[in-house]
Amino acid sequence: MAEDTQNIQELTLEDVMGERFGRYSKSIIQDRALPDIRDGLKPVQRRILYAMNKDGNTYDKGFRKSAKSVGNVMGNYHPHGDSSIYEAMVRMSQDWKLRAPLIEMHGNNGSIDADPPAAMRYTEARLSKISGTMLQDIDKDTVDFVPNFDDTEQEPTVLPARFPNLLLNGASGISAGYATEIPPHNLNELIDAIVYLLAHPKASTDDLMQFVKGPDFPTGGIIQGLEGIKKAYNTGAGRIVLRSKTAFKPLKGGKQEIEITEIPYEVNKALLVKKMDEIRIMKKVEGIVEVRDESDRQGLTIAVELKADADAQGILNYLLKNTDLQITYNFNMVAIHNMRPERVGLKTSLQAYIDFQREVITKRTQFDLNKAQKRQHIIDGLIKALSILDEVIKTIRASKNRKDAKQNLMDKYEFTDPQAEAIVTLQLYRLTNTDITELQQEHDQLTDQIATLTDILANDASLRKVMRSQMQEIKKGFGTPRLTQIEDQIEELKVDRTVMVPDETVVLMVSHDGYIKRSSPRSYQASPENDNGLKEEDYPILLKQVSTLDHLFMFTSKGNMIYRPIHEVTAARWKDTGEHISQSIGLADDEDMIGAYTF
């Protein structure tokens, strides 16, 4: 039998690789790394929340093993390995990463010191209360569903999201050609901005910044640089300085300590403490006695104990400049918007959320309207049946079976199919005992409900009123005060050299041949002056007591000038030769020192 070659195509490797990698990149961008602008979630996060909700693993029920939820998500929705699912679940439970955690977890879920969480077989989890509002009304046809990876289940393409999760909890991720870094914000401020934007669709970014002052990190801290925030909110990209919250605390004996109670977002506290302690050990700054991590269940505290005569502000400035006590945070607000990655500003993000909520409210209202109309239609049938109850009962009893009874009711009394079905479904004793007054009351309530729902669908002002009401309800239930302070200007950190260099008296020597050293007065006094480590033909051109804060200028026979701070001169015993200046600066073989001065 001849081979079927009709479906074989000849393609160049370049075309195949380009097309396949394009598909792969699109999958990475849309299905893994970047959040959706509407609900602020990546696919793995959305699948976790949906699966836990569907499984009844909600805030008002008991905790369940994390491994059970991970297995459920992996088996039904996200076939990418359990570690990525569990990592996403853990991150959504960490209150130092998310402004409003979406999952509650019992057990070790990691720490701000970057300690790993316990294995999923040990921890337990459930949805947080605010997560319930993310999924609220998902059963009312508010969002689209698509088949899962093996066509055995349906999963949502987006969650209804009663609050603006993208800006509330932020996002971070890297994909093929794109990266995103969206900071967390304050829920109260976001909702106030949404309410304002609903009433003023043409509002500018500056108008919205009356409400959204800037990011609000779960770890607090102090933001510096209002211009960076404005740029980020206008363009989606910008830079701010984020520093720790510190205070000077007096101690006994005239000492004091720097007390750090808030650190920048996503800074590893353990590494920060280690770095500051290394500065103390290496004596890169003068005056630090001890660095202690005093954090406990009550909150974060790092204590930097200082000597009695230490320059506290100078040391703090040095630590801010040389450790992660102060960092630069770069906005890169990229999200999936209209099915493609887009860098978005504040107004675009809020407007996209408003547009999405219009769609959700419209679909929910239509669902509720259809349900109310169907119920009212049934009530109409039951009221009609009660008005001719004897005839209805007689017809039912005369019928051969349920199907025949239903058809007879439709033929004789012009009941519709749903009405006849409702009548025959009721047992006769319930039909005879039904109070027509109660039915009439329900009918009137449904009439009012239908009128309200119809008005929402027909009147944009009514829809906006519903959205405002929802937003205010979320604000009342979950709003919290701002944690991060904002300062207009970026403070320039000036580090005084005296902070880094102890003021010590030393004996400085510079020789004709270019040898240089500094010794302690004790070492100098313990040895004869001529026992200075120099060769017989060499001799000092400068020998004097100086301070380590002084400056040294040296002049050579070829007219070169060499500058060296005294504290950078190699410390050596008086008997030692010291270092040759050519070790740090190139000199000619026949070039000598002819003069040296300090001040």
Q: Which tops the pLDDT comparison, 32 or 556?
A: 556
Q: Do residue 319 and residue 402 come from a single domain?
A: no
| In a domain? residue 169 | no
- Could you give the number of structural domains in the chain? 4
329 is catalytic: no
Q: Is the pLDDT of residue 24 over 70?
A: no
**Element holding 272 (H helix, E strand):** helix 269-281
Distance CA 101, CA 168 (A): 10
Asked if pLDDT for residue 445 goes beyond 90, the answer is yes
- Domain check: are 393 and 461 in the same one? yes
% of the chain at pLDDT higher than 70: 96
| Integer Cα distance of 260 and 247 in angstroms | 7
Q: Report the distance separating Cα 543 and Cα 515, nearest Å.
A: 12
Q: Among 30-34, 236-240, 295-299, 385-389, name the most confident range.
A: 236-240
Mean pLDDT, residues 244-264 taken together? 95
In 26-100, DSSP assigns E strands to: 64-65
Residues 472 and 521 in one domain: no
Angle at 561 between CA 555 and CA 565, to 5 degrees: 95
Residue 278 has a CB neighbour count (10 Å cut-off) of 12
pLDDT of residue 248: 96
Least Cα distance to 365 among 285, 463, 442 occurs for 463
pLDDT value of residue 309: 83
Tell me, what CATH number does 143's domain have?
3.90.199.10
Residue 32 confidence (pLDDT): 64
What tens digit of pLDDT does each residue of 70-88 get? 999 999 999 888 999 999 9
Q: Residue 72: which of 92, 93, 91, 48 has the closest Cα?
A: 48
Which pLDDT tens digit goes with each residue over 311-353? 899 999 999 999 999 999 999 999 999 989 999 999 999 999 9
User: Is 532 found in the same domain as 438?
Assistant: no
404 shares its domain with 508: no
- 221-232 mean pLDDT: 97
- Give the least confident one: 163-167, 205-209, 399-403: 399-403
Q: Could you tell me if residue 579 is inside a domain? A: yes
Assign 589 a pLDDT band (cuts: 50, 70, 90): confident
Res 295 pLDDT > 90: yes
Q: 312 and 362 in one domain?
A: no
Give the whole-angstrom CA distance, residue 125 versus residue 90.
Answer: 9
533-588 per-position pLDDT tens digit: 888 889 999 999 999 889 999 999 999 999 999 988 988 999 898 999 988 888 88
Q: For 122-134, what is each residue's pLDDT tens digit?
A: 999 999 999 999 9
Q: Given this model, what pLDDT does residue 1 score?
A: 46
538 lies in the same domain as 569: yes
The predicted-structure confidence for 461-506, as pLDDT tens digits, reads as follows 999 999 999 999 999 999 999 999 999 998 888 877 666 777 789 9
Percent of the chain with pLDDT over 90: 77
Give the mean pLDDT of 269-291: 93
Residue 194: the pLDDT is 98
The sheet with strand 64-65 has its strands ordered as 64-65, 124-127, 103-106
Residue range 226-252: mean pLDDT, rounded = 96
In a domain, 17, yes or no: no
Q: Report the amino acid identity of residue 313.
A: Q
- For the stretch 377-413, pLDDT in tens is 999 999 999 999 999 999 999 999 999 999 999 999 9
What pLDDT was estimated at residue 224?
Answer: 96
Q: Residue 441 pLDDT more than 50?
A: yes
Domain boundary residue, one of 300, 324, 348? 324
Among residues 279, 308, 324, the one where a domain terminates is 324
- So what's the pLDDT on residue 25? 60
Examine residue 279 and state whether it is found in any structural domain, yes or no. Answer: yes
Same domain, 465 and 393: yes
Q: For the segment 278-288, what is each residue's pLDDT rounded down to a tens digit?
A: 999 988 888 89
Q: Which of 51-65, 220-234, 425-439 has the lowest mean pLDDT?
A: 425-439
At 267, is the pLDDT very low, low, confident or very high (cuts 50, 70, 90)? Answer: very high
Average pLDDT score over residue span 438-457:
96
Question: Which one of 324, 348, 375 terminates a domain?
Answer: 324
Together in a domain, 361 and 314: no
Q: What is the CATH number of the domain that holds 263?
A: 3.30.1360.40
Give the global pTM: 0.85
Residue 428 lies in a domain: yes
In a domain, residue 152? The reply is yes
Q: Is 154 found in the same domain as 110?
A: yes
Domain that holds residue 379: 356-478
Distance (Å, rounded) from C-alpha 370 to C-alpha 358?
18
Q: Burial, 226: exposed, middle or buried (Cβ in 10 Å; 0-12, 13-18, 19+)?
A: middle
372 and 304 within one domain: no
Looking at the structure, tell me whether residues 442 and 518 fall in a common domain. no
The answer to whether residue 166 is domain-embedded is no
Considering the domain boundaries, does residue 231 fall inside one?
Answer: no
Is residue 153 within 8 A of residue 76, CB to CB? The reply is yes
pLDDT confidence of residue 12:
84
The DSSP secondary structure of 157-170, one letter per residue, reads: SS---SS-HHHHH-
Alpha helices in 159-268 (DSSP H): 165-169, 187-199, 205-208, 226-235
Q: In whole numbers, what is the pLDDT of the chain averaged over residues?
A: 92
Q: How far is CA 257 from CA 251, 292, 304, 311, 496, in A?
A: 7, 10, 5, 11, 19
Candidates 122, 539, 563, 597; catalytic one: 122
